[in-house]
Structure 1
Amino acid sequence: MTTSLLLIVQIVLVIILVIAVLLQKSSSIGLGAYSGSNESVFGAKGPNSFLAKATFTIGFLFVLNTITLGYMYSKAAQSSVVDEVVENTNVAAPTLPTMPAKETNSSK
């Protein structure tokens, strides 16, 4: 139940994050901006705009949710369906019928 809810939250966060990134104004000329210009990722003054701060917050929530989902899925992968079935059933092992031992008469 909780993994399904976290997966839905993950999808919503991805959609919001993509929209937030696409709405931001481009401060440089694409990938050439990282080759040696004086601009930082968010400009010279840092992330001052609301959209940049919102993008950072949504990105942080996305990473946190990804780590949580990874932990929960790895924890679930360690258990097996067969283990759950065996734990939930209370079937006793079948017993073999015992034959009465023949009495031997050793006094003959």
Structure 2
Amino acid sequence: MSFQIVLIIHMMLAFGLIALILMQHGKGADAGAAFGAGASGSVFGARGANSFMYKLTASIAVGFFITSLTLAYLATPASTEKKSESVMDQVIID
């Protein structure tokens, strides 16, 4: 049950990360701000949106990596006994 919950959270983080990356402006978008087309009157201020989006993207990326590691740990079968059999030990010789 916990695997499915972590998987759902992982998928939501993945879609959120994709959406945030697509919403961000590229480096070339700042050229228009030099000629008066900047967003100085925006909700986050002149540079606040970039900082906010960067922090939000970084925090979602950290959550994505944590859920990735958690899913890898949960998907690994827990072996209680140590198997040291080789492939040759499994071959049946008639």
Interval containing the TM-score (normalised by the shorter chain): 0.5 to 0.7
User: Could you say which residue in structure 2 is the equivalent of 1:85?
Assistant: none
Deviation of the 1:28 alpha carbon: 4.1
Tell me the TM-score normalized by structure 2. Answer: 0.58
Q: 2:87 aligns to what?
A: none
Sequence identity, in percent? 30
Aligned residues: 62
Larger % of helix: which?
2
Q: What is the root-mean-square deviation in Å for CA atoms of aligned residues?
A: 2.4
- Listed one character per residue, the Cα deviations across residues 20-75 of structure 1 (whole Å, up to 9, x for unaligned) are 1011110149xxxxxxxxxxxxxxxxxx610011000000100011001101101x
Q: Which runs of 4+ in 1 moved over 4 A?
A: none
TM-score, normalised relative to structure 1:
0.51
Larger RCO of the pair (alpha carbons < 8 Å, separation 6+):
2
Partner of 2:70: 68
Equivalent residue for 1:52? 54
Structure with greater Cα Rg: 1
How far apart, CA to CA, are the structure 2 residues paired with 1:13 and 1:67? 14
| Residue segments in structure 2 that go unaligned for 5+ positions in a row | 30-49, 81-94
